[in-house]
Amino acid sequence: MDKTKRKAVIAGNWKMNKTPSEAKALLEEIVPAVKDADCEVIACVPYVDLSVALEVTKGTNVKIGAENCHWAESGAFTGEISTGMLKEMGVEYVVLGHSERRQYFGETDETVNKRTKAALAAGLKPIVCVGELLWERECDITEEVIARQIKLDLFDVSAEDVKKTIIAYEPVWAIGTGKTATADQAEEVCGFIRAALAKLYSQEVADAVTIQYGGSMNDGNADELLSKVNVDGGLIGGASLIAEKFAAIVKAASK
């Protein structure tokens, strides 16, 4: 396994934070702070912020993502947003299967799989989130849980498409809790995900896939987490809302 084959990817997940005017102000701080990054920088923002986010980041190295998408092209799905709508705006990435969507909005591996395939078919790059609950870790079934999610979420996704997919390992117990997985725990599961991808596809495919860690990553712990061979970047919640902290994580990933 050779980490140098993969460029780090740092993505902010803003969740349900920032109105359009607040989004503009935050991105106007982030853009100059990350302009020299030697990693991919993405801000995944609420739907209503996409337009202003794309405007502020036009011609810069900051890419924009959405936080979800539906699998149907159009139709009677009140409140949903299609991949075509995102694509036409110029959105490049989409977060799928975040634990908050699984926990509060009935997201299942089946719907994550449908959304993933729809995103890829539309030319969007999905950031597919997987991760175990604290109870599952305590019961020592982390690997079973992750293997199942990887297999189901990526069911019927071609080798070519999986290379365009980012996997975010986000232990649910570490999201928004201030509890971070240790760098060794993150490496262990990210390495397991890569091995699972090698079994499902091939080692060549597995080596090409970006695997992020997410869960209370911040400017204080990013260096150590990102030093691990299988941790190719981070999906950042809370710390992505503070330009200085987000830029520090981007800097750590650029080393």
Residue 118 or 168 having the CB closest to ligand PEP: 168
Q: Is 70 a catalytic residue?
A: no
Q: How far apart are CA 75 and CA 18, in angstroms?
A: 28
Q: Which residue carries 């830029």 as its tokens?
A: 247
| Residue (13 or 142) nearer to ligand PEP, CB | 13
Smallest distance from ligand PEP to CB 243, Å: 15
Which residue type, as a one-letter code, is found at position 157?
V
The catalytic position among 40, 67, 100, 170 is 170
Residue 136: active-site member: no
Options 98, 100, 132, 136, the catalytic residue: 98
Which residue, 65 or 237, has its beta carbon nearer to ligand PEP? 237
Instruction: By CB under 6 A, name the binding residues for ligand PEP.
Output: 13, 15, 170, 175-176, 214-217, 235-239
Closest-by-Cβ residue to ligand PEP is 237
Q: Which residues of 194-226 are buried (b: 16+ CB within 10 A; e: fewer)?
A: bbbbbebbeeebbbbbbbbbbbbbbbebbeebb
User: In this structure, what are the phi and psi dihedrals at residue 11, rounded to the nearest 5 degrees?
Assistant: -125, 130
The Cα–Cα gap between 130 and 169 comes to: 5
DSSP characters over 128-142: EEE---HHHHHTT-H
CB of 201 to ligand PEP, least distance (A): 25
Query: For residues 17 and 254, which CB has a smaller minimum distance to ligand PEP in the complex?
Result: 17
Q: Which residues are catalytic?
A: 98, 170
